[in-house]
């Protein structure tokens, strides 16, 4: 059965044969996340959790780009309450989502484009994938529980390199550390993920749910606590001078200057 969902700016949702596919569809803006996109994804995951006809969820982007991270102009316009209602609602839903969650990643995956993958059960990357976590470079701190999950996955030194320097790492490195399951040609990535999702959708749902719950185990509560802790610090830093300088520099297409800023 195929169930189309009315499109939301930047996100397409489609359900067929037990698989809900959420496509980031703002390619002209490199799939940069807006508040509307956070809200649409959060609503879709809520619906998928409650709908017994949905057994698996796939998040995918375009062959050339997964996501450039947050849309800075939209992010600056958002009120703090919007952040709480949309951004962190999505992050908590990702951390608690009970059904198999898959991702297909091609091209740049910046910020939230990488951190959301830490909550996916299977991730397949095109050989053009490039992951980066430039939170410090923007005067911010990690989000989505990544300050807890990345050291668990990469080890302390590699996680520190990714989060403190914020420099890109590529598909081969992501495969080596277990962030992705397999590398495929970009033109085949979405189809490959759909094939994997179809395999899962044919399996007994109760067994899938129980196995994922056991895999997450006691770590899930720690992840939720870390998401909340990060959110508090993120909010404080967001209104600080470093973030203001970083965002101004981005909008003015210049290199930020943090040398004169106090701690």
Cβ-contact 157, 215 below 8 angstroms: no
34 located within any domain:
yes
Q: With H, G, I as helix, E, B as strand and everything else as coil, classify residue 136.
A: helix
| Res. 81: pLDDT tops 50 | no
| Res. 83: pLDDT tops 70 | no
133 located within any domain:
yes
Give the model's pLDDT for residue 82.
45
pLDDT in tens, 156-176: 999 999 999 999 999 999 999
Number of domains in the chain: 1
Give the model's pLDDT for residue 143.
96
Cβ-contact 142, 133 below 8 angstroms: yes
Cβ-contact 143, 227 below 8 angstroms: yes
- Over range 78-93, report the average pLDDT: 73
For residues 42 and 31, what is the distance between their CA atoms, to the nearest angstrom?
A: 16
- Over range 233-253, report the average pLDDT: 89
Q: Which residues pair with 130 in a beta bridge?
A: 108, 170
The parent domain of residue 231 ranges over 2-186+204-251
Q: Where residue 53 sits, what CATH number does that domain have?
A: 3.90.226.10
260 located within any domain:
no
55 located within any domain:
yes
191 located within any domain:
no
146 located within any domain:
yes
């Amino acid at each position: 059965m195929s169930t189309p969902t009315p499109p939301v700016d930047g996100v397409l949702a489609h359900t067929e044969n037990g698989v809900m596919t959420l496509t980031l569809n703002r390619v002209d803006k490199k799939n940069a996340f807006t508040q509307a996109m956070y809200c649409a994804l959060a609503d879709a995951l809520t619906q998928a959790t409650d709908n017994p006809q949905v057994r698996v969820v796939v998040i995918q982007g375009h062959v050339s780009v997964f996501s450039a991270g947050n849309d800075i102009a939209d992010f600056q316009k958002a009120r703090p309450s919007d952040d709480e209602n949309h951004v962190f609602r999505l992050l908590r839903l990702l951390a608690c989502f009970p059904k198999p969650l898959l991702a297909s990643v091609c091209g740049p995956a910046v910020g939230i484009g990488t951190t959301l993958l830490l909550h996916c059960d299977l991730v397949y990357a095109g050989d053009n994938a490039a992951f980066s976590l430039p939170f410090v470079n923007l005067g911010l701190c990690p989000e989505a529980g990544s300050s807890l999950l990345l050291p668990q996955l990469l080890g302390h030194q590699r996680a520190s390199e990714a989060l403190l320097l914020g420099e890109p790492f590529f598909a081969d490195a992501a495969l080596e550390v277990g962030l992705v399951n397999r590398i495929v040609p970009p033109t085949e990535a979405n189809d490959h993920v759909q094939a994997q999702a179809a395999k899962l959708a044919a399996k007994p749902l109760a067994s899938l749910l129980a196995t994922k719950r056991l895999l997450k185990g006691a770590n899930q509560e720690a992840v939720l606590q870390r998401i909340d802790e990060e959110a508090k610090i993120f909010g404080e830093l967001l209104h600080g001078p470093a973030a203001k300088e970083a965002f101004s520099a981005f909008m003015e297409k210049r290199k930020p200057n943090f040398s004169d800023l106090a701690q």
